[in-house]
Amino acid sequence: MAPGKKLIKLALFGQPVKSSLSPTIHHAFAEQFDLDISYQLIETAAEGFPAALEDFRQAGGSGCNITLPLKQEAWRLAAQASKEVEQAQAANTLVLQPSSGWFAHTTDGIGFVTDLKRNHQVALAGRRVLVLGAGGAVAGILGRVLADGPQEVVIVNRNQQRARDLAERFNTLGNLDVTSWEELPSWGRFDLVINATSLGHHGEAPRLTAAVFAAGAMCYDMNYFKASLPLKALVESLGHRYVDGLGMLVEQAAESFFIWTGERPNSKTVTSLCRERVA
């Protein structure tokens, strides 16, 4: 580290985290501004998270990302949180405020919308949107999606009660409905399909048919790399545009980086770097 420069200590907490791209992403961001950072991968289950977070703070840690299965725990542990975090009941970014402790943010929503609109030129306003899944990944993006004014957002999920509970937290923000897989064909065609299920990690794809896609529709898969391949193959076989979630990963990281450092990095070059490294 150069004389007079302060080391910014960052980390990712979750389980598992050993294969995470976050260190690569944030070191690439830091290089753009000649900042010195360290970025640890700290693997912990929920029961060990409070102690691990305190150890990180005691060692000089000033900011961290949170991934599964700790996003709800991060929200609960934080001394303060953004309105978006309170509504999602989950946080993926913590920043240390010396006077009051950890402040919780969620950058998933802005990461998703930025990738969709800026990198793929897809607008949400006036569109019919279908969301597959009703877990934490959906909670993290739903507020931002509804804020952009889609005509309608429909959540389809196997567990109907879970989907209804999620919808109740967000239904004041826009036109939001819930359906089952059995009833989905009766809802017509959608301009954008967002996959937030984990089926791709098991080599499977959601049971989508051509009937759910409007002309010119796109499928946005929040998975990337190997987990994205089953749905990619299905959507492209149906003749529709498919985008994976790597851009969202980088864009949400860029927002976290801005929260910690006040600097906005060039995210497109880092997304390309990640694709090249994995390829």
pLDDT of 278 reads 75
Evaluate whether residue 252 is within a structural domain.
Answer: no
In a domain, 51, yes or no: yes
- Based on the domain organization, do 147 and 50 belong to the same domain? no
Which residue range is the domain that position 20 belongs to?
8-106
Q: What is the mean pLDDT of each run of 10 residues along the chain (279 residues)?
A: 78 95 97 97 97 97 96 96 95 94 97 97 97 94 96 95 94 94 96 96 95 97 95 97 97 98 96 87
Is residue 68 located within the same domain as residue 87?
A: yes
pLDDT at 49 (0 to 100): 98
Last residue of a domain, one of 51, 84, 106: 106
Distance in angstroms (rounded) separating the CA atoms of residues 250 and 149: 24
Q: Are residues 135 and 243 located together in one domain of the fold? A: yes
Q: Are residues 84 and 126 in the same domain?
A: no
Residues 13 and 27 in one domain: yes
Q: Which residues, including other chains, have CB under 8 Å from residue 250's CB and lie 6 or more apart?
A: 25, 111, 115, 267, 270, 271, 274
pLDDT at 4: 59
Query: How far is the C-alpha of 67 from the C-alpha of 223, rounded, in Å?
Result: 14
The answer to whether residue 48 sits within a structural domain is yes
- Which one is catalytic: 9, 71, 83, 232? 71
Q: List CB contacts of 248: < 8 A, sequence separation 6 or more.
A: 108, 111, 112, 115, 222
User: What does the angle CA 257 – CA 263 – CA 265 come to, to the nearest 5 degrees?
Assistant: 75
**Is residue 259 domain-resident?**
no
Active site residue 71: yes
User: Is residue 229 domain-shared with residue 205, that is, in the same domain?
Assistant: yes
User: Are residues 147 and 93 part of one domain?
Assistant: no
Is there a single domain that holds both residue 199 and residue 236?
A: yes
Structure tokens at 13: 């907490």
Taking the C-alpha atoms of residue 135 and residue 198, their distance in angstroms, rounded to an integer, is 10
Asked if 168 and 89 sit in the same domain, the reply is no
Q: How many domains does the chain have?
A: 2
Do residue 204 and residue 116 come from a single domain?
Answer: yes
For residue 41, what are its two tokens? 């991968």
pLDDT value for 277 = 81
Q: Which of 106, 138, 173 is the last residue of a domain?
A: 106
Task: Kindly report the CATH number assigned to the domain that includes residue 152.
Answer: 3.40.50.720
154 and 198: one domain? Answer: yes
For 103, the token pair is 């402040």
Say whether both 29 and 66 belong to one domain. yes
